[in-house]
């Protein structure tokens, strides 16, 4: 079967989700996706930081801040495109309702991914603003961080949509969050430099997209935007495309019969 590409009509799905979100916005804003990284930043950065001292010449809270921005992006996109997408796709049959209109299933999947990515990007940007207010991102290069936020948000929205398309129930998402998202949160250079890991574990971390996003963000926020730190960001793009195509195909296989 030839692949069908989404059209501009995908934006209609994004608008639909915004309409629903605006009715219930507050709980999801102060929910886990911003609240949790903020607590980590305060607890680990300022609390644990007094024990750790400096990492690579940075105060610990300065070291942790870029990872908090990236992980809040990752978590928000992941939650929205697992739990949120699953509810719309399976429980509420929203996808089936929408594809009786001129929108195709690929439009719906793309629109839902765009929405999850937007939530991720929004949360990441709010975290970035918080980090900036704490004076933890002194460089003007920090203004370029939203580009990385956007790339990471789209990637995790696509990956999570794949998981939602495969999930048999909500319990399935525990595996994903515990075995995929949490290890990235812990081992991608958010809390400690990759060099602290054994060599084989460093090699593994080099396969994980969050690693590059965190390193590039740290370089920008500290005002050291080298090609070596920034270019690896492009490695986020191929898995994004693969995950999107896979998500669209899996959703089609699941819903269309």
Partner 1 sequence: MPSVAISASRLTKRFGDRVAVDGVDFDVEVGECFGLLGPNGAGKTTTVRMIHAFTPITAGDLVVLGLRVDDEPVAVKRRLGVVPQEENLDPDLTPWENLMVFARYFDIPRAEARRRAADLLEFVGLTSRAASPLDELSGGMKRRLLIARALLNQPELLILDEPTTGLDPQARHLVWQRLRALKAQGVTQVLTTHYMDEAAQLCDRVALMDAGRILRQGRPADLIRAEVGEEVIEIRGDEALHRAAVAALDGKSLRWERAGDTLYCYCADGRELLPALSTLKPAHLLHRPASLEDLFLKVAGRSLQE
Window of 90-98, 126-134, 141-149, 165-173 that interacts with partner 1 by CB under 8 A? 90-98
Instruction: Output 15 or 204, the one with its CB closest to partner 1.
Output: 15
Instruction: Output 94 or 123, the one with its CB closest to partner 1.
Output: 94
To partner 1, the closest distance from the beta carbon of 42 in angstroms equals: 33
CB 102 within 8 A of CB 13: no
Strand, helix or coil at 7? coil
Phi and psi torsions of 103, nearest 5°: -75, 145
Q: According to DSSP H, which parts of 80-231 are helical?
A: 85-86, 94-98, 105-133, 145-166, 171-176, 182-187, 199-205, 209-221, 227-230
Instruction: Output 100 or 169, the one with its CB closest to partner 1.
Output: 100
Q: For residue 167, give every residue at least 6 positions away whose Cβ sits within 8 Å of its Cβ, in sequence order, or none.
A: 82, 86, 173
To partner 1, the closest distance from the beta carbon of 126 in angstroms equals: 23
Window of 20-28, 129-137, 153-161, 241-249 that interacts with partner 1 by CB under 8 A? 20-28
15 binds partner 1 (CB under 8 A): yes
Among candidate residues 115, 140, 87, the one with its CA nearest the CA of residue 16: 115
Q: How far apart are CA 149 and CA 74, in angstroms?
A: 9
Phi and psi torsions of 141, nearest 5°: -60, -15
Instruction: Output 36 or 96, the one with its CB closest to partner 1.
Output: 96
Window of 75-83, 92-100, 116-124, 139-147 that interacts with partner 1 by CB under 8 A? 92-100
Q: Under rule CB under 8 A, how many of the chain's residues touch partner 1?
A: 22
Q: Find the binder of partner 1 among 94, 161, 211, 240 (CB under 8 A).
A: 94
Phi and psi torsions of 42, nearest 5°: -70, -50
Instruction: Output 201 or 256, the one with its CB closest to partner 1.
Output: 256
Beta bridge partners of 55: 58
Q: Find the binder of partner 1 among 3, 23, 168, 199 (CB under 8 A).
A: 23
- Can you give the binding site for partner 1, defined by CB under 8 A? 9, 12, 15-16, 19-20, 23-24, 92-94, 96-104, 256-257
């Amino acid at each position: 079967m030839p692949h069908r590409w989404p059209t501009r009509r995908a934006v209609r799905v994004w608008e639909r989700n915004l309409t629903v979100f605006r009715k219930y916005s507050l709980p999801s804003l102060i929910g886990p996706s911003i609240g949790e990284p903020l607590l980590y930043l305060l607890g680990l950065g300022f609390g644990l930081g007094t024990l750790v001292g400096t990492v690579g010449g940075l105060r610990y809270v300065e070291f942790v801040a870029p990872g908090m921005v990236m992980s809040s992006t990752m978590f928000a996109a992941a939650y929205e495109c697992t739990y949120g997408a699953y509810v719309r796709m399976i429980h509420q049959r929203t996808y089936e309702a929408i594809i009786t209109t001129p929108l195709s299933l690929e439009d719906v999947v793309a629109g839902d991914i765009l929405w999850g990515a937007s939530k991720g990007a929004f949360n990441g940007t709010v975290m970035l603003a918080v980090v900036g207010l704490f004076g933890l991102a002194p460089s003007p290069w920090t203004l370029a961080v939203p580009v990385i936020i956007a790339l990471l948000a789209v990637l995790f929205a696509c990956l999570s949509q794949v998981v939602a398309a495969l999930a048999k129930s909500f319990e399935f998402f525990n595996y994903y969050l515990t075995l995929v998202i949490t290890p990235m949160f812990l081992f991608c250079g958010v809390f400690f430099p990759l060099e602290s890991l054994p060599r084989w574990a460093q090699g593994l971390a080099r396969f994980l997209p969050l690693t590059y996003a965190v390193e590039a963000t740290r370089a920008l926020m500290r005002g050291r935007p080298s090609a070596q730190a920034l270019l690896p960001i492009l490695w986020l793009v191929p898995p994004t495309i693969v995950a999107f195509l896979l998500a669209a195909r899996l959703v089609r296989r699941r819903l269309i019969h």
